[in-house]
Amino acid sequence: MQTELNLGVIGCGYWGPNLIRNFQNLPECRVKTVCDLDTKRLQHMQDLYPRLKATTDADQIIDDDDIQATVIVTPVSLHYDLARRSLLADKHVFVEKPMATSTAECAELVELARQKQRTLMVGHTFIFTPVVRRIKEIIASGDIGEICYVSSRRLNLGLFQKDINVTWDLAPHDISIILFWLNQMPRSVNCQGKAHMVPGIEDVTNLSLNFHNGKFAAIQSSWLDPNKIREMTIVGTKKMIVYNDMEPLEKIKIFDKRVETPPHYDTFGEFQYSYHYGDTYSPYVKQVEPLKLECQNFIDCIRSGDKPESSGLEGMQVVQILEASSQSLRQNGAEVVIRPPAACPTTEKLSCTKKG
């Protein structure tokens, strides 16, 4: 009979309580200790879960041999140090997105997890969403044809971050989904944006991902929009998909629409576009809390030794794109080429360079 896994959660501000709730509801594990600098938050967690131990010192979790895994839900500037120390203490690590502040830090964590034979997972929750998974199945079936481009809008009023810009805060969701759907890294990125409220921290950005086979993705992120929008559009050569996460039921809509060009023509006068308009339908998708599936995957991978669906490698790929976006922002939107990862990306530092 397998023993119960003990977890320590560092950070119980906005997102931490959701992870605590989901891990507490899994029969294979329990949250033993939570850590936060806000004692009122700790007291609230203990009121909800009386068995929890509380501390303001992360070392009490990292140094506790009775805790097998650390869950890190802090500002991104603390991710690398807490994850590194947890891995060195032979703990499995779940770290929220973005994984770290640089590709080099991510590569070090991935390599350390490999050496220590510990599970390293990054909180890209949306790839566990049943709707996102259903869209991946539709794409793989060929029903929408070849993908032309993906467009994403993730907009709202706040929450403003103090240590990262809006691309680092919101775009990891969209980037992880796009990489999950397309199963490839972009060859280059462009990013433009403006800082309206806090100098040096962009609160609205447009990020473009350019792929080797001609596919293209555009991601708009904002903390300054009056409406909360969570929408992604996939345009294929046969059909189009709109994924609206704000819809309570019909989150996926498939449009049987496309633009067709004539196969043969001799003169420009003979050339005519034709437009196909068919049905619009919304497939049923059973709703399951993605965070529950994500937490279960972490525990299952600790037990089995399998690679998580959002492992350290996927986390590193997202940070590599974010790093390139920051470089492009500093260069007024210049195209920044992303070098393909080496065969063993943990042994060679990944890099990005300005095109030209």
Q: Assess if residue 340 is contained within a domain.
A: no
Same-domain check for residues 119 and 258: no
Is the overall model pTM greater than 0.85, yes or no? yes
Same-domain check for residues 217 and 276: yes
Distance CA 338, CA 140 (A): 25
CATH value at residue 32: 3.40.50.720
Which pLDDT band, with edges at 50, 70 and 90, does 257 fall under?
A: confident
Q: Is the dihedral of CA 44, 45, 49, 52 positive or negative?
A: negative
Same-domain check for residues 161 and 227: yes
Same-domain check for residues 50 and 78: yes
Q: Assess if residue 331 is contained within a domain.
A: no
In angstroms and rounded to an integer, the radius of gyration of the C-alpha atoms of the chain is 22
Of 264 and 99, the structure prediction assigns the larger pLDDT to: 99
- Residues 258-282: tens digit of each pLDDT: 776 666 555 555 455 666 777 788 9
How many domains would you assign to the chain?
Answer: 2
Share of the chain above pLDDT 90, in %: 83
Residue 277 is predicted with a pLDDT of 74
Helical H segments across 99-247, by residue range: 103-116, 130-141, 166-182
Residue 343 is predicted with a pLDDT of 37
- Residues 5-36: tens digit of each pLDDT: 999 999 999 999 999 999 999 999 999 999 99
Q: Assess if residue 348 is contained within a domain.
A: no
Which residues neighbour 186 within 8 Å (Cβ) at sequence distance 6 or greater?
A: 209, 210, 211, 217, 321, 338
Contact assessment for residue 150 and residue 184, using Cβ atoms and an 8 Å cutoff: no
Same-domain check for residues 139 and 269: yes
Q: Assess if residue 66 is contained within a domain.
A: yes
Distance CA 141, CA 257 (A): 17
- Residues 120-152: tens digit of each pLDDT: 999 999 999 999 999 999 999 999 999 999 999
Q: Assess if residue 342 is contained within a domain.
A: no
Residue 158 is predicted with a pLDDT of 85
Q: Assess if residue 336 is contained within a domain.
A: no
Same-domain check for residues 257 and 141: yes
Q: Is the dihedral of CA 54, 60, 65, 71 positive or negative?
A: positive
Residue 228 is predicted with a pLDDT of 96
Same-domain check for residues 169 and 302: no
Q: What is the mean pLDDT of residues 244-270?
A: 77
Beta pairing class for 5-10 and 29-35: parallel
Q: Is the dihedral of CA 199, 338, 243, 95 positive or negative?
A: negative
If DSSP codes are grouped into helix, strand and coil, which group holds residue 233? strand
Residue 278 is predicted with a pLDDT of 72
Contact assessment for residue 160 and residue 200, using Cβ atoms and an 8 Å cutoff: no
The answer to which of 68-72, 177-181, 189-193, 338-342 has the lowest mean pLDDT is: 338-342
Q: Assess if residue 40 is contained within a domain.
A: yes
- Residues 303-348: tens digit of each pLDDT: 999 999 999 999 999 999 999 999 999 999 999 999 855 434 443 3
Residue 353 is predicted with a pLDDT of 42
Which pLDDT band, with edges at 50, 70 and 90, does 296 fall under?
A: very high
Same-domain check for residues 13 and 84: yes
Q: Check whether 352 has a pLDDT greater than 60.
A: no
Same-domain check for residues 178 and 307: no
Phi and psi at residue 99, in whole multiples of 5°?
-60, -40
Q: Check whether 354 has a pLDDT greater than 50.
A: no
Of 196 and 352, the structure prediction assigns the larger pLDDT to: 196
Domain region containing 245: 127-281
Number of H helices, E strands in the chain: 9, 16
Same-domain check for residues 79 and 154: no
Same-domain check for residues 15 and 118: yes
Same-domain check for residues 21 and 108: yes
Q: Check whether 3 has a pLDDT greater than 90.
A: no
CATH value at residue 209: 3.30.360.10
| CA quadruple 191, 310, 227, 73: dihedral, nearest 10 | -100
Distance CA 331, CA 349 (A): 22
Q: Assess if residue 223 is contained within a domain.
A: yes
Distance CA 351, CA 344 (A): 14
